Amino acid sequence: MILAFDTYYFDNKAKTVSICFDDWSDEENYKVDTEVIENSEEYQSGEFYKRELPCILSLLDKIKTQNVTTIIIDGFVYLDDNQRLGLGGHLYLQLQGKIPIIGVAKTNFATLEKNKRQLLRGSSMRPLYITSIGIDLDYATELIKNMKGNNRIPTLLKTLDTLTKEKDCG
């Protein structure tokens, strides 16, 4: 079982959505879990994880994780080549290193070079930026590359992004 998480912030609330799917080739078979938290933390530059990690952990508490093989987050595992932890790295530590984390980011983080891969999908000239912990980075990049969908963002991750931004609070 694979979980992917995303959080959207609005009106001092944080809406976190998780898509659960069984196979990297899935495109339509998935389960959705949603949670809205009031009074979300303010964004702190360089410490994004402090805002989003509590949201992911809260929703994760409601999901049975014994069969989870991988978690995908919208963001970075590392913030620099000295392995300063980003959201994915902090999540990995909170899970005591039991579940590999793949970070898929849409924008580059310039202080990170060797611990990320650029991935071009479809006909897009704009790459996704892949980072990972608990799983080989090149293998993680291949997994994201081979997810269903002909566009830059794999279909299930695009679905997740859309569900997260819907005003309906699920």
pLDDT tens digits for range 68-97: 999 999 999 999 999 999 999 999 999 999
pTM of the model: 0.92
For residue 25, what are its two tokens?
A: 């080739």
Residue pLDDT, tens place only, 89-133 = 999 999 999 999 999 999 997 788 889 999 999 889 999 999 999
* Strands 70-74 and 2-10, sheet pairing: parallel
In CATH, what class is 2-165? Answer: alpha beta
Contacts of 126 (CB under 8 A, 6+ apart): 106, 152
Domain ranges in the chain are: 2-165
Other C-beta atoms closer than 10 Å to the C-beta of 161 total: 17
